[in-house]
Amino acid sequence: MDNSSSSSYTPPRVWSGIKDNGGRFASINRPTAGPTHDKELPVGRHPLQLYSLGTPNGVKVTVMLEELLAAGHTGAEYDAWLIRIQDGDQFGSGFVSVNPNSKIPALVDRSGPTPVRVFESGAILMYLAEKFGAFLPLDGPKRAECLSWLFWQMGSAPFLGGGFGHFYAYAPTKIEYAIDRYAMEVKRQLDVLDRRLAESPYLAGDEYTVADMAV
Ligand SMILES: N[C@@H](CCC(=O)N[C@@H](CS)C(=O)NCC(=O)O)C(=O)O
């Protein structure tokens, strides 16, 4: 069946921008990157500075930091700064210099002579795991399995949040095709997870790792 024939919308040959669509993300959506205003980021007294928010992507890093602290890694002490994405904090100049992609979470490691910025939750989890030698196996095959599941999560999550969640909950119009497509894909991904966890206690094998934290 040709679904496009039932649509009242004809895409333009050259896309030139959206009108205010009243959607929940109307104040966030824009087709360009870079800062919209000057605003420095606060810096606290701990070695690690976390700029984040309690969203599923944000909490991955907080879970990792808390697990490191619970395991006795005192170097993982951090200051957590709230980035209010609905208010556009992610487009401030200070935040953009830490994450040019304007998304939380972002981390600055100030424990060495030069601050190190890290963005993308998966990259932050790996960076911390390598820095502290924890929650990421060193052994080749186990490490490969762990990274495979970690990157599976990174690649899959946009279908859940940006795809299913967006069209099901946030889009100002309900589009059956989009909801069906993403619901199906999210169900399939959850089945991948169910099958893996039926054969293994943790995603990467017998140890709890950053892959489990990400998921
Ligand atoms: N791939 C990124 C995704 C991060 C992401 O999508 N963050 C959302 C909140 S969960 C955000 O900052 N959105 C703000 C925006 O899109 O302007 C990661 O894993 O860190």
Does the residue 38 lie in any domain?
Answer: no
Q: Are residues 104 and 152 in the same domain?
A: no
Q: Are residues 173 and 104 in the same domain?
A: no
Does the residue 100 lie in any domain?
Answer: yes
Does the residue 14 lie in any domain?
Answer: no
Q: Name the percent of the chain in helix, strand, coil, to the closest 5.
A: 50, 10, 40
Q: Are residues 96 and 163 in the same domain?
A: no
Does the residue 42 lie in any domain?
Answer: no
Does the residue 125 lie in any domain?
Answer: yes
Q: How far apart are the CA of 163 and the centre of ligand 1, in A?
A: 13
Nearest protein Cα to ligand 1, atom 17: 28
**CA torsion, ordered 130, 134, 140, 142, to nearest 10 deg:** -140
Is the CB of residue 55 below 6 angstroms from any atom belonging to ligand 1? yes
Q: How far apart are the CA of 141 and the centre of ligand 1, in A?
A: 30
Structure tokens at 186: 């999210």
Q: Are residues 144 and 126 in the same domain?
A: no
Q: Could you list the residue range(s) of the whole structural domain that residue 189 is in?
A: 140-214
Indicate which CATH number applies to the domain containing 203: 1.20.1050.10
Which single residue is written with the structure tokens 């360009």?
A: 32
Judge whether 105 and 80 are in contact, CB under 8 Å.
no
Q: Are residues 147 and 85 in the same domain?
A: no
| Single residue among 132, 158, 187 that ends a domain in this structure | 132
Q: Are residues 90 and 74 in the same domain?
A: yes
Q: Which of 32, 55, 57, 99 to mutate to test the pocket of ligand 1 (most atoms within 8 A of CB)?
A: 57
Q: What integer pLDDT is reported at residue 16 of this predicted model?
A: 83
Does the residue 32 lie in any domain?
Answer: no
Structure tokens at 196: 């893996």
Any idea how long the chain is? 215
Please name the residues in contact with 152: beta carbons below 8 A apart, sequence gap of 6 or more.
192, 211
Q: Are residues 54 and 115 in the same domain?
A: yes
Q: What is the pLDDT along the chain (215 residues), one digit of tens a residue?
A: 444 445 688 888 998 877 777 676 777 778 889 999 999 999 999 999 999 999 999 999 999 999 999 999 999 999 999 999 999 999 999 999 999 999 999 999 999 999 999 999 999 999 999 999 999 999 999 999 999 999 999 999 989 988 999 999 999 999 999 999 999 999 999 999 999 999 999 999 999 999 999 99
Number of domains present in the structure of the chain: 2
Q: Are residues 195 and 152 in the same domain?
A: yes
Indicate which CATH number applies to the domain containing 115: 3.40.30.10
Residue whose C-alpha is closest to residue 117's, from 198, 41, 14: 41
Model pTM score? 0.93
Q: Are residues 68 and 103 in the same domain?
A: yes
**What is the C-alpha to C-alpha distance for residues 76 and 69, in angstroms, rounded to an integer?**
6
Q: Are residues 52 and 117 in the same domain?
A: yes
Does the residue 208 lie in any domain?
Answer: yes
Question: How many Cα atoms within 13 Å fall on the side-chain side of residue 23?
Answer: 18
Q: Are residues 124 and 148 in the same domain?
A: no
Q: What integer pLDDT is reported at residue 18 of this predicted model?
A: 72
Q: What integer pLDDT is reported at residue 6 of this predicted model?
A: 57
Does the residue 19 lie in any domain?
Answer: no
How crowded is residue 20: how many other Cβ atoms within 10 Å of its Cβ?
8
Is the CB of residue 103 below 6 angstroms from any atom belonging to ligand 1? yes
